[in-house]
């Protein structure tokens, strides 16, 4: 009946910055930290529990040895991954495979993801989709580097939400912080990286053929059926329900009582302060705090003034 609070796992990136320290208060190792893997069972950055009887356990080991914490859900790997991203510079233009391509070619799940915009500087934009009508046209436009013709750019602001299914060409632009909920995968195919070089003067690898193989053509723009449920002065916004994950915003103004909607629940505070109350025990919550509510936690309360992005596993 205890939440599993998790230690952050930081990833240095060529496009990263220092806002995971200045905004979220994390003790980051340098000023090029692009990602906090907040809730992860992935071997490239696995989360470790920092409280309770499972203190020191890796999420991946809990999934293998204590599946009851996750409602005895099926699957070889913990299926979800939550990140906070700080894009000091533009991310590469990229695309992710679906499960069948990812498992066949990379030995891991594909990657469908979604983004909650925590903050965005004025004029910020993302790449979201493309303008090619056929795969042949896509290949031709990439080969000829006709990026302005190919890529769709969308302005963004704080509080926006985007669904990014596998096969979607995309890029987070500079000046944006996001909370990303995704499948547990680290497979990324780079289409274009602005010809930039790393500290050693090397360009990063591109994956042109794989990108052409997996991109959805023509591009689709999924329509979200967002709904909001008022609960006193607080509210629950449902952004997304998919086979992979369901994603919610808990907008807490005072208090908000909740009951579980899935085998287990992931949650990360993106703004504000307060407390999480489980089984009569109160836990402090602040920006960047992340935890898993295991299957045994069937109801809880959040108090204070906070925005929390929460997710549960989808049902295939």
- The conformation of residue 148, written as its DSSP 8-state character, comes to H
C-alpha span between 248 and 236 (Å, rounded): 7
- The CA-CA-CA angle for residues 282, 285, 287, to 5°, reads 180
Q: Report the sign of the C-alpha dihedral through residues 162, 165, 168, 172, in that order.
A: positive
What percent of the chain is helix, strand and coil (3-state, nearest 5)? 15, 45, 40
Q: Say how far residue 227 (Cα) sits from the centre of its chain.
A: 20
Which residue out of 67, 152, 190, 196 is catalytically annotated? 190
- The CA-CA-CA angle for residues 113, 116, 120, to 5°, reads 125
Q: Report the sign of the C-alpha dihedral through residues 259, 265, 268, 270, in that order.
A: negative
Q: Can 152 be counted among the known catalytic residues? A: no
C-alpha span between 155 and 151 (Å, rounded): 13
Q: Which two tokens mark 160? A: 């926006």
Residue 8's φ and ψ, nearest 5 degrees, are -70, 150
What 3-state DSSP class applies to 257? strand
Q: Which of 133, 135, 225, 242 is nearest to 181 (CA)?
A: 242
C-alpha span between 276 and 258 (Å, rounded): 11
Q: Which of 219, 211, 240 is nearest to 96 (CA)?
A: 211
Annotated catalytic sites, by residue? 190
């Amino acid at each position: 009946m205890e939440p599993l609070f998790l230690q952050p796992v930081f990833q240095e990136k060529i496009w990263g910055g220092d806002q995971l320290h200045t905004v979220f208060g994390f003790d980051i190792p340098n000023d090029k930290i692009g990602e906090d893997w907040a809730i992860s069972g992935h071997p490239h950055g696995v989360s470790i529990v920092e409280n309770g009887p499972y203190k020191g356990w890796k999420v991946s080991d809990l999934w293998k040895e204590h599946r009851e914490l996750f409602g005895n859900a099926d699957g070889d790997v913990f299926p979800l991954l939550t990140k906070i991203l700080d894009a000091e510079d533009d991310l590469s233009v990229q695309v992710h495979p679906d499960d069948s391509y990812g498992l066949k070619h990379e030995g891991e799940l594909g990657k469908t993801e979604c983004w909650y915009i925590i903050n965005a500087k004025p004029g910020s934009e993302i790449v979201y989709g493309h303008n090619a009508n056929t795969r042949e046209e896509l290949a031709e436009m990439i080969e000829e580097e006709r990026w302005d013709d190919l890529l769709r750019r969308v302005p963004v602001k704080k509080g926006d939400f985007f669904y990014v299914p596998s096969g979607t060409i995309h890029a987070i632009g500079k000046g944006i912080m996001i909370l990303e909920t995704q499948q547990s995968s680290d497979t990324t195919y780079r289409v274009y990286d602005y010809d930039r070089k790393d500290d050693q003067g090397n360009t990063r690898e591109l994956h042109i053929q794989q990108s052409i193989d997996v991109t959805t053509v023509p591009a689709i723009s999924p329509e979200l059926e967002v709904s909001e449920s008022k609960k006193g002065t607080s509210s629950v916004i449902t952004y997304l329900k998919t086979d992979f994950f369901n994603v919610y915003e808990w907008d807490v103004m005072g208090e908000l009582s909740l009951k579980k909607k899935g085998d287990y629940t992931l949650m990360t505070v993106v703004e504000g302060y307060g407390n999480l109350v489980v089984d009569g025990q109160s836990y402090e919550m602040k920006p960047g705090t992340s935890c898993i509510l295991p299957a045994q936690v069937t109801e809880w309360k959040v108090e204070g003034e906070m925005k929390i992005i929460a997710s549960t596993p989808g049902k295939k």
